[in-house]
């Protein structure tokens, strides 16, 4: 393997969900910089198009497609689009997630429970299922599920979210085990506290932030761009013998 081509994604088609901002946007930009044609996906087309346009303006290849992964019809639609427009999928990054409930686990409402499960578990599951089938038709590919350190150590007042992220870690291993001989590698990224709009309720809460930082050896919150390099590794030839792995990018949180 030549070092110069290890991270080359030229000719690859990549679908990134939750890509209109935050970690998903950072991943989209980096994969495009390394040659991938990136499909920027999120619930609202305007945000997706803004990111895709910016990538194109900087010389990359990007398209926008609105997809709410909590809706099965929209999952089917995005894969129909990819099949029609590209005939292949090489990379899938399941990054879109929801966390509507913040409070005591014993007070979790059914509606918030169901929404979190529909997006974070069912959505990831069927995105992966459709992704594997399309990838296998062209010799394989790589899937990265964005889980969370909360899937290992439940976050305070984030019970159902933490439970779904633990499920994503298990799901990653299950797909990796069954799909390896189909040429599809499946790994998980476990971000620590990251400065995104999604995590703003945590980042801007002094008590929660200080409590979290007490357990982070690096004593700081991550920038979304610091997650993207790990995803580049997991979808490139650099990780060709890596599947079923969980990569924590957390400033050392899980070691403390």
Residues 6 or more apart whose CB falls under 8 angstroms from that of 31 comprise: 9, 14, 16, 38, 91, 228, 231, 232, 235
Evaluate if residue 3 carries a pLDDT over 60.
no
Query: What pLDDT, on a 0 to 100 scale, did the predictor assign at position 195?
Result: 85
45-89 confidence digits (pLDDT tens): 999 999 999 999 999 999 999 999 999 999 999 999 999 999 999
Fold observed for domain 3-255: Rossmann fold (3.40.50)
Confidence class of residue 1 from pLDDT cuts 50, 70 and 90?
A: very low
Query: What pLDDT, on a 0 to 100 scale, did the predictor assign at position 202?
Result: 62
User: What average pLDDT does range 104-124 have in this prediction?
Assistant: 98
Q: Is 158 helix (H, G, I), strand (E, B) or coil?
A: strand
Tokens describing residue 62: 């990007």
222-252 confidence digits (pLDDT tens): 999 999 999 999 999 999 999 999 999 999 9
Catalytic residues: 161
CB atoms within 10 A of CB 245: 15
Residues 6 or more apart whose CB falls under 8 angstroms from that of 61 comprise: 32, 36, 37, 38, 55
Under a CB-based contact definition with an 8 Å cutoff, are residues 175 and 132 in contact?
yes
pTM score over 0.85? yes
Evaluate if residue 198 carries a pLDDT over 60.
no
Under a CB-based contact definition with an 8 Å cutoff, are residues 19 and 43 in contact?
no
DSSP conformational letter for 214: T
Evaluate if residue 211 carries a pLDDT over 80.
no
Question: CA-CA distance, 70 to 118, in Å (whole number)?
Answer: 5
Residues 6 or more apart whose CB falls under 8 angstroms from that of 9 comprise: 31, 34, 35, 36, 90, 91, 235, 236
Question: CA-CA distance, 158 to 150, in Å (whole number)?
Answer: 8
Confidence class of residue 4 from pLDDT cuts 50, 70 and 90?
A: low
């Amino acid at each position: 393997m030549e070092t110069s081509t290890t991270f080359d994604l030229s000719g690859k088609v990549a679908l990134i969900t939750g890509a209109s901002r935050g970690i998903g946007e950072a991943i989209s930009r980096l994969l495009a910089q390394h040659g991938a044609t990136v499909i920027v996906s999120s619930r609202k087309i305007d945000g997706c198009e803004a990111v895709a346009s910016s990538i194109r303006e900087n010389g990359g290849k990007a398209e926008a497609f609105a997809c709410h992964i909590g809706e099965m019809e929209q999952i089917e639609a995005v894969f129909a689009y990819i099949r029609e427009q590209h005939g292949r999928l090489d990379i899938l990054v399941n990054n879109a997630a929801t966390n509507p409930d913040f409070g005591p686990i014993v007070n979790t409402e059914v509606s918030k429970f169901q929404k979190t499960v529909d997006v974070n578990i069912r959505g990831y599951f069927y995105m992966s299922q459709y992704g594997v089938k399309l990838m296998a038709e062209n010799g394989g590919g790589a899937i990265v599920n964005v889980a969370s350190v909360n899937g290992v150590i439940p976050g305070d007042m984030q019970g159902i979210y933490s439970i779904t992220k633990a499920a994503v870690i298990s799901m990653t291993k299950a797909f990796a085990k069954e799909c390896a001989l189909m040429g599809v590698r499946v790994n998980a990224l476990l971000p620590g506290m990251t400065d995104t709009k999604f995590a703003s309720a945590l980042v801007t809460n002094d008590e929660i932030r200080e409590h979290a930082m007490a357990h982070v050896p690096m004593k700081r919150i991550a920038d979304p761009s610091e997650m993207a390099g790990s995803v580049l590794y997991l979808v490139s030839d650099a990780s060709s013998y890596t599947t079923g792995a969980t990569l924590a990018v957390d400033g050392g949180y899980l070691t403390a």
